[in-house]
Amino acid sequence: MLEHETAKLAELQRDHTAMVRDYQLALGKRSTAEYEHSRALAADVSSRGHAQLSYQQQWANYEQRLRDRDFQLAQTQLRVDEVENAIATLELEAANLLRRREEVAEALTREVVDLVLDYEELRRMLKVV
């Protein structure tokens, strides 16, 4: 039962991670669209005068740095999510290996008990004969 719950939790964590990754990608796409829009505005402003253009360029550079930072954060989060997914997968595999090891140990124990019982029965039969 615990294994099922653990597997379900791992699946939910992977789903959550995928959703967060999709959200971060959407933010990155939105930032790119905003950047393109900002560049179009900067081109339009150039016809209004040098002072206003200088201000808009400085603002656009500032916004671009923010978008670049957001994009880098999104990329880093994606890498973190990938590592967390890998860790979750390894933990699940380790749990499965432990469960299998326990099953094998139980089977070997049963086999040893059966062999000991057979041995004892043969000893009793030899004493009778």
Total number of domains in the chain: 1
The pTM for the full model equals 0.42
pLDDT of residue 126: 85
- Whether 115 maps to a domain, the answer reads no
pLDDT of residue 28: 85
Number of DSSP helices (H) and strands (E) in the chain, helices first: 2, 0
pLDDT of residue 102: 96
- Whether 118 maps to a domain, the answer reads no
- Whether 40 maps to a domain, the answer reads yes
pLDDT tens-place values along the chain, 129 residues long = 778 888 888 888 998 998 989 889 888 888 898 888 888 887 676 666 677 768 888 999 999 999 999 999 999 999 999 999 999 999 999 999 999 999 999 999 999 999 999 999 999 988 876
Closest CA to 71 of 25, 35, 40, 22: 25
Structural domain harbouring 41? 2-100
Burial-class residue 122 by CB neighbours within 10 Å (0-12, 13-18, 19+).
Answer: exposed
